[in-house]
A and B are shown apart, each in its own frame.
Chain A
Amino acid sequence: MAAIAGRTYPAVKIEIDRDRVEEFAHAIGADPADGVPPTYAAVYSLGVTAPHLFGDEDAAIDFGRLLHAEQEFEWTRQPDMGETVVSSGRVASDVSRRGMRFVTFETDTTDEKGAALCRSRTLFVIRQEVRPARAPARP
């Protein structure tokens, strides 16, 4: 299984939809009147780019063995309600050691003009299959 560090995925446009933002705010106990909750980035950033990674056969990410281990967001600004943003994902690193695979997946989100808005950095840890010792074939 090849490591896929450096792989980039196509950009995805997504509108910061008011109804959806309000539903999200309620789900995390935030007041929608305060504006777009910062971790709404889970929807407009990682949320639209992670499916590319999970659907990439070459990446061979075993969803059943995957753990979302760390998450970082950095914002130049929070998005405005109703604006359209553009998110692009890439695999920043992909290393395996001692039966664990560590994939760092980054997503850059810009506004429609290309101005930086948010960067997401996710550490996925995937438990790799332990190869069972094979019994020698019986003669």
Chain B
Amino acid sequence: MTFTREQIAAYAAASGDHNPIHLDDEFARSAGLPGVIAHGMLQMGIAATVAAEAAGGPDHLRRLFVRFAGMVEPGDTVTFRAEPNGTGKLDLSALNQRGEAVLTKAVAEYDGHPLPSGERDQGRGA
């Protein structure tokens, strides 16, 4: 996925995280950054989408862990992958166009079957 300012702004609006380091180049530079950067949580969201697909659907996911290791700027292309690593576990990777990992130690755990929705009131006729 190639990150754009528009997508970063869309994530800011959708998530409620309007930290100006994601939206305002001047502010980002004053904070020591090269310019605006993508939210780590946006990257985690994309990684989670890949993990959910590998797990058979978002309802199967039980755990996600990521370390935010590198900056992602508009124009960067990041390849997200989920690799099986034992039963119910996925190793997640996110490498930019330079081969640098922007997420590290990223893993997902999932169950083979989603939790029964009997936990929630199904309104079966009394």
- Chain A interface, >50% SS class: mixed
Given A23-B14, A34-B58, A35-B59: A68 and B64 within 8 A (CB)? no
Q: Which of B1-59 contact A (CB under 8 A)?
A: 1, 7, 10-11, 13-17, 19, 31, 40-42, 44-46, 48-49, 52, 57-59
What's the least CB distance linking A133 to chain B, in Å? 22
Query: Is B1 touching A27 in the complex (CB atoms < 8 A)?
Result: no
Q: Does A42 contact B (CB under 8 A)?
A: yes
Q: Chain B: interface residue count, which band?
A: 35 or more
What's the least CB distance linking A22 to chain B, in Å? 9
Q: Which of A6-55 contact B (CB under 8 A)?
A: 20, 23-24, 26-30, 34-39, 42-43, 47
Query: Is B49 touching A78 in the complex (CB atoms < 8 A)?
Result: no
9 A-B pairs with CB atoms under 8 Å apart are A29-B1, A34-B57, A34-B58, A35-B59, A37-B45, A37-B58, A43-B16, A68-B41, A71-B66
Which chain A residues border B68 with CB–CB below 8 Å?
Answer: 67-71
| B residues neighboring A (CB under 8 Å) | 1, 7, 10-11, 13-17, 19, 31, 40-42, 44-46, 48-49, 52, 57-59, 61-68, 105, 114-115, 119-120
Query: Is A78 touching B46 in the complex (CB atoms < 8 A)?
Result: no
Query: Is B62 touching A39 in the complex (CB atoms < 8 A)?
Result: no
Query: Is B52 touching A34 in the complex (CB atoms < 8 A)?
Result: yes
Query: How many residues of chain A are within 8 Å of chain B by beta carbon?
Result: 33
User: Which of B57, B61, B105 lies at the interface centre, i.e. has the most chain A CB atoms within 10 A of its CB?
Assistant: B61
Query: Is B58 touching A36 in the complex (CB atoms < 8 A)?
Result: yes
Partner of A23, one of B13, B57, B114: B13
What's the least CB distance linking B26 to chain A, in Å? 14
What's the least CB distance linking B5 to chain A, in Å? 13
Query: Is A42 touching B67 in the complex (CB atoms < 8 A)?
Result: no
10 smallest beta-carbon distances between A and B, as pairs? A28-B45, A27-B14, A39-B45, A24-B14, A72-B65, A27-B11, A27-B10, A30-B49, A23-B14, A77-B115
| A residues neighboring B (CB under 8 Å) | 20, 23-24, 26-30, 34-39, 42-43, 47, 63-64, 67-78, 80, 115
What's the least CB distance linking A104 to chain B, in Å? 13
By beta carbon, the residue of chain B nearest A65 is: B31
Query: Is B16 touching A72 in the complex (CB atoms < 8 A)?
Result: no
Given A37-B48, A78-B61: A69 and B14 within 8 A (CB)? no
What is the bound-complex CA distance between A106 and B114, given in angstroms? 25
Given A28-B42, A28-B45, A71-B68: A38 and B61 within 8 A (CB)? yes
